[in-house]
Amino acid sequence: MIPMVDLKRQYQLLKGEIDAALEEVFQGTQFILGPNVSALEAEIAAYHDISQAIGVASGTDALQIALEASGIGEGDEVITTPFTFVATAEVVSRLRARPVFVDIRPDTFNIDPERIEEKISAATKAIIPVHLFGHPADMDPICDLARRYGLKVIEDCAQAFGALYRGRKIGTLGHCGCFSFFPSKNLAGCGDGGMIITGEETTAGRIRLLRNHGSAVRYRHEVLGYNSRLDEIQAAIIRVKLKRIDALNDARRSHAELYRSVIGRSDILLPLEQAGCRHVYHQFTIRSRDRERIMAVLREEGIASAVYYPVPLHLQDVFSDCRLRRESLAQAETCAAEVLSLPMFPELTDEEIRRIGDVIDHAI
C-alpha cells in the first residue's frame, strides 16, 4: 500500500529529537504560550526575514484573525479563489463579510489575476490569494491591484511553507501571511496549529490581542478576542521540523522531477512550475479527462490518490448566497472534474514513484 502521506516514516526519522523536545515540555510545564511558542515565532520570523510572527491555534484561525486585525468585517467583500479548502472563504463569512469568487488559471490552479479587477466593487476590502498545492499565486499583479484600490492582501500560505515567488518567500508579499501546521502540511505538528506573519507592527499587536481573549495584560481585556493560541507541545515538534524544512521541500521537489520523467502519457497534464517560482509540492496534482479510470486502477494496485477539490466553493451549499452564473467560473469547474493528486511526502521512495508512474501509464 502506498498512502497519500505517511506520517509514521517522518516520525521514525526524527523520533529521538521529537521525544526529547516533548520530554522537555512536560518537565517545564509551561503549556500555554511557553518558551517553544516564542522561540518558534522568532525562528519563523527570521526564516522569512520579517519582523512579526504570531502563533495561533490553526490555519483557519490564522486567516480569520489576520482578516479581523486588518479591519475586515460586516458588509465587506473579500476576493478569493473558489478552488481551495473551505477554510479560505469560511472565515470571510464568519466575519459577516462576503466571499467573492474569481476564476483560476488552469495551469497553476491559482486565482487568475486578470479576472480580479472586474470583481472589485466599492465594498471590496481584501484579496486572499491561496498558494495552492505549494505553487505561489501570481503575486505581482495581485499586489499592484491591491495598491491601486487600497485593498489588504492576506496570503493563504497553508500549503506552501518555503515556496518562493521571484526569489521572495510567500507570506511576505502581502500584508499578512497565514500558515497551517495541520499534520499533513509541509511544515506540520501532531495536531492543529497555525501562524501569522506580518511586517506591520500595529496589525501584529491586534493579532496578539485577538488570539488571547483581547488581553495584553492578564485580566485586562481591550477587545473581544478568541482563545486561539498555538499549543506549546505542537510548537516544540514544529521546531524540530523547521530546522529541516528546506531539505524536506527539496525532497518533494526531486520526487516531482521523478514523477515527471516516469509519467509518459501525453493525455495527462503535469503540474506547471511557473518561471521565477519555487514550487514546494504540497501536492503533486495531475489533470486528465480519464481521472476516474486512473484512480480506480491505482486503487486496484494498492496506491492511494485523492481529488483536491471535487466541488469548487462557489457551488457549495454553504456559499449559495454568493453563487454566480454557473458558467462564469468554468476553469475551476473543469479542474474540479479533472484533477488527481498522487502520493507526495518527503520520505516517499524513488521505487514507489516509478511504480506509480508505471501503473498510470498502463491504466489506458
182 binds ligand PLP (CB under 6 A): yes
Give yes or no for a contact between 59 and 158, defined as CB atoms under 8 angstroms apart. yes
Name the residue nearer to ligand PLP (CB basis): 185 or 263.
185
H/E element, 19? helix 7-28
Q: Which residue is nearest to ligand PLP (CB)?
A: 59
Name the residue nearer to ligand PLP (CB basis): 45 or 313.
313
198 binds ligand PLP (CB under 6 A): no
* Binds ligand PLP (CB under 6 A): choice among 55, 189, 194, 343: 194
- Applying the rule CB under 6 A, the residues between 221 and 250 that interact with ligand PLP are none
- Closest distance to ligand PLP from the beta carbon of 325 (Å): 25
- Left, alpha or beta for 75 (phi > 0: left; psi -120 to 50: alpha)? left
- Applying the rule CB under 6 A, the residues between 243 and 282 that interact with ligand PLP are none
* Binds ligand PLP (CB under 6 A): choice among 60, 80, 186, 283: 60
* Binds ligand PLP (CB under 6 A): choice among 76, 77, 156, 232: 156
- Applying the rule CB under 6 A, the residues between 64 and 123 that interact with ligand PLP are 84-85, 87-88
Residue found by looking up cell 487568475 in the block: 112
10 binds ligand PLP (CB under 6 A): no
180 binds ligand PLP (CB under 6 A): yes
Which residues fall within 8 angstroms of residue 153, CB to CB, at 6 or more apart? 126, 127, 128, 129, 139, 142, 143, 146, 173, 174, 175, 176
What one-character DSSP code corresponds to residue 321?
Answer: G
Name the residue nearer to ligand PLP (CB basis): 36 or 64.
64
- CB count within 10 Å of CB 289 equals 12
Name the residue nearer to ligand PLP (CB basis): 111 or 353.
111
| Closest residue by Cα to residue 5 from 356, 359, 347 | 347
348 binds ligand PLP (CB under 6 A): no
Strands (E), 113-185: 124-128, 152-156, 164-165, 168-169, 176-180
Position 108, amino acid: T
What one-character DSSP code corresponds to residue 70?
Answer: T
Name the residue nearer to ligand PLP (CB basis): 174 or 357.
174
130 binds ligand PLP (CB under 6 A): yes
Give yes or no for a contact between 97 and 74, defined as CB atoms under 8 angstroms apart. yes
Name the residue nearer to ligand PLP (CB basis): 146 or 157.
157
What one-character DSSP code corresponds to residue 271?
Answer: P
Return residues touching ligand PLP (CB under 6 A): 58-60, 84-85, 87-88, 130, 156, 158-159, 180, 182, 192, 194
